[in-house]
Amino acid sequence: MRTPIIAGNWKMNNTVSEALKLVEGLKPLVKDAKVDVVIAPTFVTLDAVLKATKGSNIKVAAQNMHFEENGAFTGEISPKMLEELGVDYVILGHSERRQYFNETDEALNKKVKAAFAHGLIPILCCGETLEEREANVTNEVTGKQIKLDLAGLSKEDAEKVVIAYEPIWAIGTGKTATDEQANETIGAIRKTVAEIFGQEVADKVRIQYGGSVKPGTIKAQMAKPEIDGALVGGASLKAEDFAGIVNF
């Protein structure tokens, strides 16, 4: 039985004071959650948020990282730094990173391996554009991403990966894939994982849906057999909204 995982991606939002206020508001609302709760603050607020969540059931993720441990990579953060801070998860390959920062599957494969080398669990994002959805190549697109991003991983590491299916056309647009579309695509992603690592691993991998998830949409989404949680954007910036999703 896969434990659902609800992760809140704050993106480029919240100063340190705003982040701490949000965490303090969130803690009592999710303390009895029956799912794994994760929040992903900015790099600037990571340390403060880690201290504020200590002793609670809230885990912390970084929104990105470089694959090298150190070096001349101005503006980047290394897995070694995240490991020392005590970060639990790291979001990799978010559509905004792929789109605006030209992240490639080759680089993401290095990042996934680097994450595991430093005790971090990747939340690996994949998804298709509207054009790809309309051309009926969604499963080919996500399948290719998963195969490239997880290439060379051991079965032991592969089963720990969290995958987030986020249709790019549903990110921040208010549009969402229907529950049936999401369930079907996530089922196809699980099939790809099974092709690479075997059914036993595929049955353990948790696959989230991401794309304008709100308190009003989560219950129906979580009723679908393939959907193991959500990667939440805008709705994670208000304690009540995010708690409403966590406590679906």
pLDDT in tens, 7-58: 999 999 999 999 999 999 999 999 999 999 999 999 999 999 999 999 999 9
Rounded to 10 deg, the angle between the 105-117 and 138-149 helix axes is: 50
Q: Alpha helix (H) ranges present in 31-78? A: 43-53
Cα(49)–Cα(22) distance, integer angstroms: 10
Known binding residue 169? Answer is no
| Cα gap 110→55, rounded to integer Å | 32
Query: Over the stretch 217-241, which tens digit does the pLDDT of each residue have?
Result: 999 999 999 999 999 999 999 999 9
Side chain identity, residue 54? K
233 is annotated as contributing to ligand binding: yes
**Catalytic entry in 66, 94, 96, 132:** 94
71 carries a ligand binding annotation = no
Provide the 8-state DSSP code for 63.
Answer: S
Alpha-carbon distance of 66 to 6, in angstroms, equals 24
Is 172 marked as binding a ligand? Answer: yes
Active site residue 106: no
166 classed as catalytic:
yes
Q: d(Cα 93, Cα 108) in Å, to the nearest integer?
A: 6
Domains along the chain with CATH numbers: 5-247 (3.20.20.70)
